[in-house]
Structure 1
Amino acid sequence: MITGSIVALVTPMFRDNQEVDWDCLKRLVEWHIAQGTNAIVAVGTTGESPTLDVQEHMATIAAIVEDADGRVPVIAGTGANSTREAIEWTHRAQQIGADACLLVTPYYNKPTQEGLYLHHKAIAEAVDIPQILYNVPGRTACDMLPATVARLAEIPNIVGIKEATGDLDRVNQLVSTCPEGFAIYSGDDFTALELILRGGHGDISVTANVAPKLMAEMCRLALAGEVDAAREINKRLIPVHEAMFVESNPIPVKWAVAEMGLMEHAIRLPLTELSAAYHLKVIRALEQADLLSGAQTVNSEFTG
């Protein structure tokens, strides 16, 4: 089972043309491994999956798999609102060498709970790779209920869920109804610590893009039952969690990573760069968590 801090990695791009910066991507992977990140999600929402074409999507997964070189697991984002497309993407990710796949609930077409069950069942039966469900109704307008998750958890290669509602009562339901060994991950940095303390296994994190060492340590402490120490780190990170969502993800986090000197300022339309009104808020949050105090050193190591 994959546990701990799992970064939902941003996809770095060149500012002038918004093409993927492959050299920068490699350096980001190296930095996360050095900082203690436990696993990497390639081309999730934070990685701008909606704006990468299929060739770029698969090339980015392949690059991260190659760069990680087995040192940390790579979870490929392969969800789609077409079951056939999700099967195709998941199969391609398996061929590339991903360790697991993350499959968001179908968006926009709003299937029933039975439709959700049959969608994920079909993908699991078609592609023999560990699969993690991803429930984020705030983006998809589709909510996978705990009873449906429990049904899917009985399928051997459906191994976990990223639950991004932030609803801790729902976490209790998942822990009590899903079989032992089924991984429950937070998809909400604000409530990630509490999810782990209630029986969860880690956090698929936006904040880890800017605070990988702190997120990894917080998750480690929480999983070890060292609650007070974990809460101290989380308290330090709360302003960062808030800052990363002042506008739609990944707008703030990409701006913050660029401000740390780790990549260029670049994002694809229809997303735009962080509004100037929020610049100071994000900078102050990074400063409060001491994430900018060593930014010059980090940047020197990163680009050296």
Structure 2
Amino acid sequence: MFSGSIPALVTPFDSSGAFDEAAFRDLVEWQIAEGSSGLVACGTTGEAATLTKDEHFEVVRVCVDQAKGRVPVIAGAGSNDTRVAATNLVAAKDAGADAALMVPPYYNRPGQEGIFRHFEALAADTPLPIILYNVPGRTVTDILPATVIRIVQAFPAVFVGIKDASGVLPRVTQHRLALGSGFAQLSGNDDLALAYNALGGTGCISVTANAAPRLCAEFQAACARGDHDAALALHDRLYALHDAMFVDASPGPVKYAMTRVRPGFPPHLRLPMTPAGDAATTAVDEGLATAGIA
């Protein structure tokens, strides 16, 4: 079962805009050394939307190669075209990923039946287990709890967890009561991870963990052992940094944070994403100071 602190890794680019493999390998190594329990390559924070398909799965391959089986690697693989999503699952498997992270179809906005049929079609031939990724704020498509439950109950060996970035906390209980504790529930919101875990969540696919991997890992470990006081103290210590990650469009703030905690880390983003503005960099600086890591 996927659990603990799982960073949604940024993808470093050099000054020409090309994938910076050396910087990415260094990031993966540091994340593992700091206690991250898994890695997501080419998720939203990894600027997957601006990667070509070849680049996308090269980033996944490099992540897998550097991790060397020490932690599981989850590859972003979603698409709003069911056929493309199916080919992405094969490419993720070929790149060595342990699981795939799959958003529901975006832009064309299927209804709940269309969402179910999309995942039903993927389940028929998937070479990897799938973690559902519900992020209505980006996809404008919400996998309602009844549909999550329907998907997982129909294909329990395929759909092993969910990254829930809906921000609707009662869903943790709804999913758990229907699907049991063996279904991995991962928060997609760092600032809600304490409450999410208290309701039965098993971890977080995190933006903040890029820049604060050890503290995020310690927070998740405290939650797992039921040490509420320690978890609350770490939550409070990290809260300003969690908030700073979204003062400007992500991943601008987190890439700025990386330059603060990993001097020399490339700050570059691909258009249409732009560097964090003054308000965001100030918030990140203050969050890092409050967390005691820069």
Q: TM-score, normalised by structure 2?
A: 0.97
1: CA distance, partners of 2:52 / 2:210: 23
Match of 2:206 in 1: 205
Match of 1:222 in 2: 223
**SS of match in other structure, 2:17:** coil
- What 5-or-longer segments of structure 2 have no aligned partner? none
Shift in Å, 1:262 = 5.2
Match of 1:300 in 2: none
1: CA distance, partners of 2:250 / 2:61: 23
Shift in Å, 1:131 = 0.4
Match of 2:54 in 1: 55
Shift in Å, 1:259 = 2.4
2: CA distance, partners of 1:291 / 1:131: 34
- What 5-or-longer segments of structure 1 have no aligned partner? 293-304
Match of 1:85 in 2: 84
2: CA distance, partners of 1:79 / 1:50: 10
Q: TM-score, normalised by structure 1?
A: 0.94
Q: Deviations over 1:24-82 (max 9, x none)?
A: 00000000000000000000000000000111001000000000000110000000100
**SS of match in other structure, 2:19:** coil
1:3 counterpart = 2:7: no
Q: Deviations over 1:116-148 (max 9, x none)?
A: 111112112111311000000000100000010
Instruction: Tell me if structure 2 keeps the 8 A contact 1:149–1:178.
Output: no
Residues 171-250 of structure 1: matches in 2 within 5 Å? Answer: 171-250=172-251
Instruction: Tell me if structure 1 keeps the 8 A contact 2:219–2:231.
Output: yes
Larger mean CA deviation between 215-224 and 165-174 belongs to 165-174
2: CA distance, partners of 1:180 / 1:251: 35
* Percent of residue pairs identical: 46
1:31 counterpart = 2:58: no
Shift in Å, 1:19 = 0.9
Aligned residues: 291
2: CA distance, partners of 1:178 / 1:196: 16
Instruction: Tell me if structure 2 keeps the 8 A contact 1:61–1:98.
Output: yes
Residues 48-127 of structure 1: matches in 2 within 5 Å? Answer: 48-127=47-126
Shift in Å, 1:182 = 0.9
2: CA distance, partners of 1:105 / 1:23: 32
Code of the aligned partner of 1:291: I
1: CA distance, partners of 2:264 / 2:220: 23
**SS of match in other structure, 2:283:** helix
Instruction: Tell me if structure 2 keeps the 8 A contact 1:7–1:206.
Output: yes
Counterpart selection for 1:264 from 263, 266, 271: 266
Match of 2:160 in 1: 159
1:273 counterpart = 2:275: yes
Q: Deviations over 1:136-184 (max 9, x none)?
A: 0000100000010001112121101100012111222112222441111
2: CA distance, partners of 1:274 / 1:128: 38
1:290 counterpart = 2:289: no
1: CA distance, partners of 2:74 / 2:128: 11
Code of the aligned partner of 1:285: G
**SS of match in other structure, 2:101:** strand
Match of 1:255 in 2: 256
Residues 132-143 of structure 1: matches in 2 within 5 Å? Answer: 132-143=131-142
Instruction: Tell me if structure 1 keeps the 8 A contact 2:58–2:95.
Output: no
Instruction: Tell me if structure 2 keeps the 8 A contact 1:102–1:132.
Output: yes
Shift in Å, 1:280 = 1.7
